[in-house]
Amino acid sequence: MSLVSEELLSLVAEGISAPRHLIEKDLLLHKILIALSENRDFREKYAFKGGTCLVKAYFGYYRFSEDLDFTFIPQEMFEGKSKKAIRKMISAELAPFISFLGSFSRKNGFVFVPDKSDGRFFEFGAGNIFTTMKLLYNSSGIEEGFIKVQFNFREKLFFKIRERKLAGLAGKSRQALFPKSFSWIFEEPSLKCYDRREILAEKLRAILTRKGIKARDFIDAYMIAGKKPGMLKEVREAALGKLLFSLEHEKYTASLKARLESAPRFDSNEEERIMLGRLDEGFRPFLKKLNSQLAWLAEEAEKKLRAVTKGLNTMSY
């Protein structure tokens, strides 16, 4: 049985040309965000980011999102600590939230086992620095749906984090058309959120480091910077800092420039699947500007990495 009633799905879907399972997932994402906003400890320690943040906190529904991404805010607590100590600290930070998510799932019909050893529900990377939890659910459109709640515990932050309200898909203007039992979909929970420039910097990094090209990264970059000609240059030092910082925790065997040159163009089918409308004529010209900045970013990162490597080799003699 679906976690979202057929009545609610039908009401929300009126006037929205999109697969029902994407509408359903968005409603469930919103329910999770409401619960997280009511958890004081979570609200203080984690910043909402990524494409879902752009949709809900900044630009409205230009596309559908499929996961929730957060960064741990008090980065200073890890300074000067060993990798082993950091791993223990992250485990301690995760424990109460895993318990909270387990309780939330039981109350709301999700399937989630709060056992970190269960690979169906947990994925870890770089010594727990990157943690993903999966909430499974019965879906109206597919056999089984899932929502990823992803955490980054080590990040270099460049812009001020601000609290923002998060909008729902239906839009408050339609609230009178819905029964009171569905009023939760019109709630606008508040969470601490990345500045849009911080999101853009991480999108540039993602394009250079993801294993596969995702159309959403280019679309999100366009939404942020497409109408602001100077923003790509404004954030490129931040993107470089984030890229170099992440390379301390992850291994990339191929050169960044080679990745950029050999990367396949993104799949236009993905673009059509996730978009709620059509991108305007400025998108394609923007991609050329974006590629220019990505090339600069890849070259600068490799220069700095070569300098570090040369310095280490010199010290070894």
Per-residue pLDDT reduced to its tens digit, 74-132:
999 999 999 999 999 999 999 999 999 999 999 999 999 999 999 999 999 988 899 99
Tens digit of pLDDT for each residue in 243-283?
A: 999 887 665 545 676 666 655 555 666 666 778 888 889 99
Structure-token match 């931040």, residue found: 238
What global pTM score does this model have? Answer: 0.91
Share of the chain above pLDDT 70, in %: 88
Pairing of strands 67-72, 145-152: parallel
Question: What average pLDDT does the structure give for the chain?
Answer: 89
Please report where in the chains the tokens 């009023």 appear, as a residue.
183
CB 224 within 8 A of CB 159: no
